[in-house]
Amino acid sequence: MEPILSRKTILLVDDLPQNIDLLRNILSPGYRLKVALSGEKAISIAQSPSPPDIILLDVTMPDMDGYEVCEKLKASALTRKIPVIFVTAMTDIENEARGFEVGAVDYITKPVSPPIVLARVATHLALYDQNRVLEEKVRERTEELAHVRDVTIHGMAVLAETRDNETGNH
């Protein structure tokens, strides 16, 4: 088992404690868990200095439903890249489509199957990690290209300043 500090963090969001308990039983052996019983609390936790690596979010909640929570998360620069998986009893195709429209990466229907929850969480965490690594490589490569461009421009400027008898001493 991994040391607890290196484990990924999952934010579980559901207004019903029994649903949180079920997901906690499935996920706690392999992940650190944070819990929010409301959409407002979920947004607050996601925007904290130690944000979760992934969010499992119920759709049907009082005050702010899961779709609205997801929209707010995706509208914020701090949280837009955190993957959101809806975990809900809503099985209509329209609800599933709406979940993807507001920015979710997956949609799991209740009652949940533990192997499916574990597999989908692992898959989306791996994709999220790969995206972070690729973004870092792109940032590093962009910095290298900017440096090469600057060196090239400087070299051309020095070359242009070089005076040569055969080109008219200019």
* Per-residue pLDDT tens over the stretch 95-142: 999 999 999 999 999 999 999 999 999 999 999 888 888 888 888 888
Residue 33 has pLDDT above 50, yes or no: yes
Contacts (Cβ under 8 Å, ≥6 apart) of 41: 13
CA dihedral sign, ordered 92, 93, 94, 97:
positive
Please tell me the distance from the alpha carbon of residue 118 to that of residue 23, in angstroms, as a whole number: 10
Are 13 and 42 within 8 A, CB to CB? yes
Pair of tokens at residue 150: 């600057």
| pLDDT attached to residue 168 | 47
Average pLDDT of the segment spanning 69-97:
95
| pLDDT attached to residue 5 | 52
- Look up the pTM and report it: 0.78
- H or E element at residue 11: strand 9-13
